[in-house]
Chain A
Amino acid sequence: MRKEVIGPFQLFAMIVLFELGTAVVVPIGLESGHAVWISILMALPGGILLYLVYAYLYRQFPDLVISGYTRKILGKWIGWPLSLLYLPVLTYNGSRNLREAGDLLISSSYDRTPIFIINCIMVIAVMYILYQGIEVFSRTAEIYFWVIVLMGLIANFVVIIAGLVQFKNLFPIHPGEWVEALKSAYPNIWIFPYGELVCFTAILPHFNSKHKIGRTGVGAMALSAFLLSFTHAVEMSVLGEDIYSRTTFPMFTTITLVNVANFLQRLDALVILTLIIGVFFKMSIYCYAAVSIAADLFHVKEPRRLVIPVGSVVLYSSFVSAENFPLHMNDGKVFLENILPILCAVIPVLLFIVHRIRRRFGWYK
């Protein structure tokens, strides 16, 4: 069978969709108050450095997913169990995205539909596209990149022309608030959404132009950071700090306020579509990463056969992991602060250092 490949723009589109995914709809970095948009930009350099670590490891081992080179670098006995850790974390994080999308749909319009049905439909779509393979998936991303950018522009544009933006909700930023912004940028925003790019270590082996890896990824991250920061700034300026911090989905609340000339109103569908598309891609990438790492660890020749089991686990854990949405958010905080940083930052950086040392001293056989 021919090896599946993806091109630079497809990777670019996938990274942007992945970054925007849920982060554009749910509130992030609450601790920083009205300076959240600055926090997002502040976290970008750290995110880029982290990405460059992933890219470096990819260039060293262009054919291996993360579990593959973990075993190469740290040896089979440490590498195998360490990579096994990625499986539950990736599936759980995928299920968190699914849960958030399901909950927004239920609390915004489908109040009588069981969450199981809604999540099920989304998981079926994800399983289908993964079954088709990464190439089909990346071409889909290419198309939806434009759809998301267009919808984002429309949504922001109508909010601005509706005259809802109040700059006084964003400025001034006092000295103490810069520090707060920095604190919420590192590690929280640095890990979510930038650090989550660790999933792409499973996709990069399919990338077809090795020398463009740095440029494509950094460009995509910068674009998504800009879009995220802008969207959150608009949300904050419309809602004010108080409502922004209390609402479960600030973007949804923002868009419901839009009323242009008693004609353009009720644009909620835009937000729901944005979330569904974003979650679809984010979840698919998580599932794909879980599938390829599992396939690599357990020597499954045909990774496709793992799509259905992984999808089912994601679906199941999406609604058994937390009783209700507030608990889900609390779990998320613990998860983000204690578990994700280890997998997104500590392990890759460790791999990077160990690899450099081993190469420097020629400890590879």
Chain B
Amino acid sequence: MPIIEANGLSKTYRVYQKKEGLLGALRGLFSREYKEVKAVEDVRFAIEAGEIVGFLGPNGAGKTTTLKMLAGLIYPTNGTAQVLDHIPWQREDAFRRRFALVMGQKNQLWWDLPAADSFQLHREIYSLPTEQFHRTLGELTELFGVKELTRQSVRELSLGERMKMELIAALLHQPQLLLLDEPTIGLDVVAQVTILKCLRDYNSNRGVTILLTSHYMRDVEALCKRVLVITQGRLVYDGPLTGITDRFGREKLVKLQFDGSECPANLETFGDVTSRQGPTAEIKVDRQRVAAVMAAILDRYTVLDVSIHDPPLEQMIAKVFEQGGVQSPGTPVPGLSPQ
């Protein structure tokens, strides 16, 4: 039985089209033009208990809107959803006790007080038994490595420490579902890695289901086996992360180190040269031609080192965003199917 089941979820906003200048503003007082913006359109997917699913898409693609509908914060224009056996926007207390939403760009802790005070308030709101609360808090502060910081005012914490506290607050009531919207945004690499490791450990220890949006492929690669890709409000891919490489990665990157101090001059004949520095070069080659190109290069030049890898996932995802169309899992997106 899926933890999340979205069935044709759509959200349309009516957005005021402001005219330019003072005259436009004055006209707007009397008559206004509105435009219908389809933020999310006919989104369907299901997530099983214990999964960690990445929700990818460019800015304004509809990720956060979908997440907010699943959290019951906004009502959909069309479609239905079941989250933890509840209709989210009915916002029943029994539902709200079982999940948490963390938004990387927003702060829900009491700004001028230590995080410990916000945690206490959280205990009251969720009616957590004292013993369970202290045990969970102890485990979480240990896991996130912030035991010594809970008595420090939130405004005096670093961004990374604050995000850890936000996550602790979100996990105190032991939710079965964690919705994360850009949890590592703005964090340095060390903080990102720590948070990702904590989330992965928490998922494997507690079996919590996680739906995560992020612009950092590092987050997605570290946590998610499965991804949903949304662009212009429509879901264009639902499948394994590795499937993106198989499906959309038409090229391979071949990195070569030649004998001598310079690369050969005519490398362009083998593929698209993406970088060239001293004796090393990187060539983008069509997947189907990799063997033939390698044979030709090795035949003509002395190569000291070679490595072949997929282009960065970001590039492939960007390609999906640019050319995205609607598809159901397992069906290639038109124009993006492998050669």
Q: Do A and B come from one complex?
A: no
Q: Residues on B close to A: CB < 8 A?
A: none
